[in-house]
Amino acid sequence: VSALRADGFPEAEVRRRARAGAAAAFPPGADYGAALFGAAAGPRGAATDLLDLARLVPPVFMPQRLEKLINLGREPLYSDVDLITDVGGLRSPLPVYVSAFGSTRAASADVGEAVSRQAGRLGLPMVIGENVVALGGYGRTDDAPERSMLRRLRAYREALPDGLGGVAVQQSTEDADAEVWNLVYSDPSARPLLDSGRLAFELKVGQGAKPGIGGMTLVDRGTADRLRAHYPLEPVHGTGELLRSSSPGTYTEEILRQQIRLMRNNFPRARIWVKLPPARDVAAAAALAWRAGADAVTVDGAEGGTGWAPAAFLDHVGLPLGECLLRIGRGDGSLFASGRMWEGSRCVKALALGCRAVGLGRAALLAADEDRADGLERFVRCLALEMKLLISALGRYAPADLEPEDVWLPRDVAAPPSTAAPAGPVDARRP
Amino acid sequence: VTAIELAPDATTAAAPPDLRTHLSAPRTRYAVAVQQAILHAAREYLTGEGFTELLAPVIGPVTDPGARGSKQVDIDYYGHRYKLMTSAILYKQASLLSFGKIFYVAPNVRLEPLETANTARHLAEFHQLDVEIAGASREEATAVVQALVAHAVRRVLDRAAEHLDGLGRDRHALGEVLDAPFELISHREAVRRLHELGHPQDPAAEIDWAGERILSAGARRPFFVTDYPKGSRGFYDRESTTEPGSLRNFDLIAPEGYGELCSGSEREFEYRRMVARMRETGENPAKYGWYLDLVRDGIPASSGFGIGVQRLTRYVAGLDAVWQASMFPKLPGVVSA
């Protein structure tokens, strides 16, 4: 029995997928021939979410399907879609990675390790979040606390097949005190990943669920005493637990540019990822990051997550993920998106709008929580089947072939008022 | 017991023998004798020029973050996380409040990335001749570097020639140091030369190890590389006020493939500029409390540098690897005495 909940997130569906695998992409098998199906009256879930309002729109005429037919010598099927994708320099069996979990207890100990082991077995790239070292320790000489970085790294690496996957280690402004990147870069346990080009470092510029402010956790009195020297702590909840706040870190264009350059300079053998919050200047920041040499830019939508965040931020702060993707458009580098990714259509819409890959956050955590041994693996099998079905329906046979024209946006979104930037229908935003 | 595997093509010099063999070897004795002559000459020169030798701090709440890719060593200082010095740069600047010209022979510890174990020029524990000069420009600092290195080489040739012969060092090649001033090329020029030679050097980064080896091997005399781009060095290297993005710094590169001997720069000393540079280098200013308190109220402008003692010894003595200049070498990742 798990205590993990995810209000406002399709938790039951995710858990069903973790139990049933690919079968969960369809209505229950017992209904076959016995029930009639149709669209719900309105979109399920958050009716105002741009990506949920959008629809995938297959054409009649499909020149790429003809190419595939010629290539195969037979009519192509959904099973002919090749999902293998270069994810920021890491090779993944599908355009998906496991994004960082917040440092709250939700991602603690066993679940974190179960996610690591299953992601490793699947060869999915995985991000290890900020604060894991600061709060959980690294696990080398500090008596290996349960949630340590090293334990996750090991669980992942031991299961990892050759030639797939890799780990992106996140560092925020305050993690710099613990020198997380330097630690990993010089550690023997990370060496196999480094030597095989499967180590990335992700600079965390901001928080998805609470853009503009830093990371937050609730800590007990004992932990608070240990952290007091480094973090502000406030008894806002009146429960005996204290709210620990990180600073978000200060960025200007020059600060971001130079931090990326310094990462490339200091860690020449690691891939460089940059994680942006859903900020109003997200397009400018992404463009700058790519120019400075980032291998990938991740946009984390204001969609909630595993971290602790004030309700005002969850409901009212930050651009919706879909708007971020429209503003960035087809950029000069690899773009990833995370935020309420749990089923194929939302993922494929994001890919069509310019993303190279999508990140599973809460979905990965819930799936592994449902079944520590195989939950994430079954969940991913279902997602892969859905993606193949959807991509082939659009007459495409690789995720990279998707185009913004594969997505239809409701008219008022597609032609926003001229004050919104940038204006115009989706197609007009292509370079 | 070694914790890492050396590359298959590593030379025998990449791996130290067992400790007894190393300590008993005549080569070790010769190398340390050359080092002794160098240190003696350095002290002779610097004190003669009015420098005060200070004893270097070993631990502190913060240390130099500018060491490329390496990890600092944390120690538990009565429940506070302290660091072993990766370099004493912050203390050097602060010491100028007492003395105008200072130096240390300072021990440093850096947990370097594992692949540096067989570059023949990285040790996790090493020493620097660490010099700081209040009010000095970069040009004045490079002049001190050059005079100091030339004086050390002259003294070694005068007083330790038999040790050089014992090591098989070509005294004539070494003597070329004394012939003329060291050449000075900009980072941009160094990148251009490397590109010409087909080496894909990143123009926005530090000269990489392979690139440095190429430049060094092609030289007959030590030379300076100046004006590194921002984003390749720590926050304390001063950014040019006339060429933003370019730092008023330098490296001294030894010839014959021996590589970098020394890094130095004009220093940032103005509070506002320094805080911005800290952020640009990904640092959290809060942890530099004692230092920023001093800087906010004013510290002298300065230039300074650190010469790697074991690296200079390696070059002067003509050693295959830098560990041969240490009695108890610590190669990155290798568990040893």
pLDDT of residue A46: 46
Confidence (pLDDT) at A423? 35
Chain B positions touching A179 (Cβ under 8 A) are 71-72
Q: How many CB pairs under 8 A join A and B?
A: 89
CA pair distance B313, B261, nearest whole angstrom:
10
Mean pLDDT score of chain A: 85
Tell me the per-residue pLDDT of A368-386, one tens digit each, with 9 for 90 and over. Answer: 999 999 999 999 999 999 9
- The rounded Cα B306 to chain-centroid distance in angstroms is 5
* Phi–psi pair at A373, nearest 5 degrees: -85, -45
Q: How far apart are CA B45 and CA B48, in angstroms?
A: 5
Q: Is the pLDDT of residue A152 over 70?
A: yes
- pLDDT bracket for residue A416 (50, 70, 90): very low
Look at residue A125 in the predicted model and tell me its pLDDT: 97
Is the pLDDT assigned to residue A84 strictly greater than 60? yes
User: Residue ranges of chain B with pLDDT lower than 70?
Assistant: 1-14
Identity of the residue in A177, A186, A261 whose CB atom sits nearest the CB atom of B71: A186
Residue A37's pLDDT is what? 64
Q: Could you tell me if B78 lies within 8 Å of chain A, comparing CB atoms?
A: no
List the one residue out of A358, A324, A394 whose CA is nearest residue A125.
A358
- Whether B6 and chain A come into contact, CB under 8 Å, resolves to no
Residue with tokens 């016995």: A34
**pLDDT score, position A42:** 46
Task: Check residues A421 and B5 and name the one with the higher pLDDT.
Answer: B5
The pLDDT > 70 percentage for chain A reads 83
The model's pLDDT over A153-192, given as tens digits with 9 standing for 90+, comes to 888 999 999 999 999 999 887 777 778 898 889 888 888 9
Q: Does B230 touch chain A (CB under 8 A)?
A: yes
Q: Which runs of E-coded beta strand occur in A45-84? A: 55-56
**A40 band by pLDDT with thresholds 50, 70 and 90:** low
Helix or strand holding residue A272 (H, E): strand A271-276
Percent of chain A with pLDDT over 90: 55
Quote the pLDDT of residue A428.
Answer: 37
Residue of A229, A255, A269 lying closest to B280 (CB–CB): A255
**How close A158 comes to chain B (CA, Å)?**
19
Q: In B, which residues are within 8 Å of A171 by CB distance?
A: 282
- Asked whether the predicted pLDDT for residue A197 surpasses 80, the reply is yes
Q: How far is CA A353 from the centre of its chain?
A: 16
CA angle B300, B303, B306 (to 5 degrees): 125
CA distance A266 to chain B (A): 5
Q: How far is A250 from chain B (nearest CA, A)?
A: 7
Q: Answer for the pair B322, B121: CB distance below 8 angstroms, yes or no.
A: yes
For A190, name the nearest residue in chain B, comparing CA atoms only.
B114
B226-285 pLDDT, tens digit per residue, is 999 998 899 999 999 999 999 999 999 999 999 999 999 999 999 999 999 999 999 989
Please tell me the total number of residues recorded for chain B in this structure: 337
Contact B204 A174 (CB under 8 A): no
Q: Which of A176, A185, A264 sits opposite B113 (nearest CB)?
A: A185
pLDDT tens-digit map of B271-297: 999 999 999 999 989 889 999 999 999
The shortest C-alpha distance from A286 to chain B (Å) reads 17
pLDDT of residue A102: 60
| Closest by Cα among A43, A47, A101, A107 to A304 | A101
pLDDT on residue B217: 93
Does B4 reach chain A within 8 Å, measured CB to CB? Answer: yes
